[in-house]
């Protein structure tokens, strides 16, 4: 089974990608705690628990964990939800030997990781990501946190899990739209760092989208390798790690403009990646053929839902994004398939032009999707 060791200055841990990990979860947790006493607190959403709760409980047998629920969705990724979970842990008598398990998608992982980072100034946790997005991206790298009214992920900690256990069986219950949205992060991984992964996604789209176990495991493992490699080289996002934000600058603006409800994160990142590619092309940083291949692959793994926004609003929202450092807006652009560069001199005019072009494509794709539905 694919296993990747992520080694940073502050932590070293294993990311396992395989089928059947849920069944062996209790034994794996014990091994991770290496004989030390601990009490398991499993954080999940009611939806995921409805699908997988029985199997988890069966795996734990008599030593059932304390289960804490987090309502699904980005709107619950806030400090007030966190406070409720913290109070529940305290009421259940959790001490520093508590071991948290994040059993869910990106929101569950981010909130649980932050919960672990700050409960009694830090307890251990393990990531068991249940969505593709969480398996290939959000569960890896130790970024945890919640949103403010003022913006996404503005509050949080760097706090690494003891391990990431990505059970590919969990992807079988994932809605198709979430699978496709998660694959946008794999495409991103290919664009910025792994031309082979990019090629694999081009050549095996049917198998991947059809959830062929071998194809999915390959894509998840390759995506994880890209992320782990980048994080290992720049744990605290002082340089290289910024390339993981490819597609996210405009992506976050799109999410903010649509109230974080209309599009899945991966869909917004898909649109943002298209915009970044277009900007790279406008600047002559990437050739027309490669830019076309990128945009074609992103749309192949669509449809990306359409949305309404003005270019000015999107550009305004990008400058309030937290990737900004002391007034300069950093932007990750493609140099070629498999290589990204960070530029810091993008002007408002360029941004507006790219946003206009992208919004036009959004309208076209939206109209095409409607036509397609009518024909059905």
Piece of 21-29, 92-100, 175-183, 203-211 that binds a second copy (CB under 8 A): 92-100
Catalytic residue among 76, 77, 143, 278: 143
- According to the binding rule CB under 8 A, does residue 97 interact with a second copy? yes
Gap between the Cα atoms of 345 and 342, Å rounded: 10
326 vs 373 by CB, closer to a second copy: 326
Best CA proximity match to 103, nearest among 75, 66, 76:
66
**C-beta of residue 21 within 8 angstroms of C-beta of residue 171:** no
Q: Could you say which residues in the range 136-155 bind a second copy, by CB under 8 A?
A: 143, 145, 148-151, 154-155
What sign does the CA torsion over 372, 293, 267, 209 have? positive
265 included as an active-site residue: yes
DSSP structural state of residue 305: P
By CB under 8 A, residue 90 contacts a second copy: yes
108 annotated as belonging to a binding site for a ligand: yes
Compute CA distances 17 → 5, 26, 59, whole Å: 12, 17, 18
Determine whether 169 is exposed, middle or buried from the number of CB atoms within 10 Å of its CB (0-12, 13-18, 19+): middle
* Stretch touching a second copy by CB under 8 A, among 180-188, 191-199, 285-293, 318-326: 318-326
**Contact range with a second copy by CB under 8 A, out of 20-28, 114-122, 212-220, 293-301:** 114-122
The site that binds a second copy (CB under 8 A) totals a number of residues, namely 35
Check 76, 218, 241, 305 and give the catalytic one: 241
CB-wise, 27 or 150, nearer to a second copy? 150
324 binds a second copy (CB under 8 A): yes
Q: Give residue for tokens 């000015």.
A: 312
Contact pattern for a second copy over residues 118 through 137, marking x by CB under 8 A: xxxxx---------------
The answer to whether 165 touches 27, Cβ cutoff 8 Å, is: no
**Beta-strand relationship, 151-158 and 143-148:** antiparallel
Q: Reply yes or no on whether 245 is catalytic.
A: yes
Residues 347-364 as b/e (b if ≥16 CB within 10 A, e otherwise) read eeeebebbbebbbebbee
98/101 with CB nearer a second copy:
98
Please say which residue, 83 or 360, places its beta carbon nearer to a second copy.
Answer: 83
Neighbours of 29 (CB within 10 A): 23
Q: Does 156 bind a second copy (CB under 8 A)?
A: yes
Distance CA 216, CA 354 (A): 33
Q: Which of 285, 263, 292, 265 is nearest to 202 (CA)?
A: 292
Please say if 248 is a catalytic residue: yes
Nearer to a second copy, 63 or 360 (CB): 63
97 vs 360 by CB, closer to a second copy: 97
Q: Active-site residue 237, yes or no?
A: yes
Active site residue 54: no
Can you tell me the distance from the alpha carbon of 143 to that of 160, in angstroms, rounded to the nearest whole number? 7
Known binding-site positions for NAD(+): 106-110, 130-131, 143, 152
Known binding-site positions for Zn(2+): 185, 248, 265
Binding site for a second copy (CB under 8 A): 37, 79-80, 82-83, 86-87, 90-91, 93, 95-97, 117-122, 143, 145, 148-151, 154-158, 320, 322, 324-326
């Amino acid at each position: 089974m694919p296993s990747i060791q992520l080694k940073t200055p502050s932590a070293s841990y294993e990311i396992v990608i395989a089928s059947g990990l849920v069944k062996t979860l209790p034994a794996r947790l014990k091994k991770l705690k290496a004989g030390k006493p601990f009490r398991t607190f499993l954080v999940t959403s009611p939806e995921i628990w409805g699908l997988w709760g029985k199997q988890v409980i069966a795996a734990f047998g008599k030593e059932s964990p304390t289960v804490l629920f987090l309502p699904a969705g980005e709107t619950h990724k806030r400090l007030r939800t966190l406070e409720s979970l913290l109070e529940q842990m305290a009421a259940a008598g959790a001490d520093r030997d508590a071991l948290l398990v994040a059993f869910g998608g990106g929101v569950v992982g981010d909130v649980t990781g932050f919960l672990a980072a700050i409960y009694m100034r830090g307890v251990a946790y393990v990531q068991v990501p249940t969505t593709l997005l969480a398996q290939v991206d959000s569960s890896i790298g130790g970024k945890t946190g919640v949103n403010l009214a003022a913006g996404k992920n503005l509050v949080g900690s760097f706090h690494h899990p003891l391990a990431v256990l990505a059970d590919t069986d969990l992807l079988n219950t994932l809605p198709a739209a979430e699978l496709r949205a998660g694959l946008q992060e794999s495409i991103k991984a290919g664009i910025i760092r792994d031309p082979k992964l990019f090629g694999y996604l081009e050549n095996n789209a049917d198998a991947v989208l059809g959830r062929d176990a071998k194809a999915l495991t390959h894509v998840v493992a390759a995506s994880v390798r890209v992320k782990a490699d980048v994080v290992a080289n720049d744990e605290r996002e002082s340089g290289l790690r910024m390339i993981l934000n490819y597609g996210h600058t405009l992506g976050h603006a799109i999410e903010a403009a649509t109230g974080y409800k209309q599009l899945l994160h991966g869909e917004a990142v898909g649109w943002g990646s298209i915009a970044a590619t277009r900007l790279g092309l406008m600047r002559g940083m990437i050739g027309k053929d490669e830019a076309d291949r990128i945009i074609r692959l992103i749309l192949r793994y669509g449809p990306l839902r359409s949305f309404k926004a003005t270019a000015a609003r999107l550009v305004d929202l990008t400058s309030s994004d937290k990737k900004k450092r002391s007034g300069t807006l950093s932007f990750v652009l493609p140099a070629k398939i498999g290589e990204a560069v960070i530029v810091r001199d993008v002007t408002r005019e360029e941004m507006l032009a790219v946003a206009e072009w992208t919004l036009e494509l959004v309208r076209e794709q939206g109209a095409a999707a409607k036509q397609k539905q009518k024909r059905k």
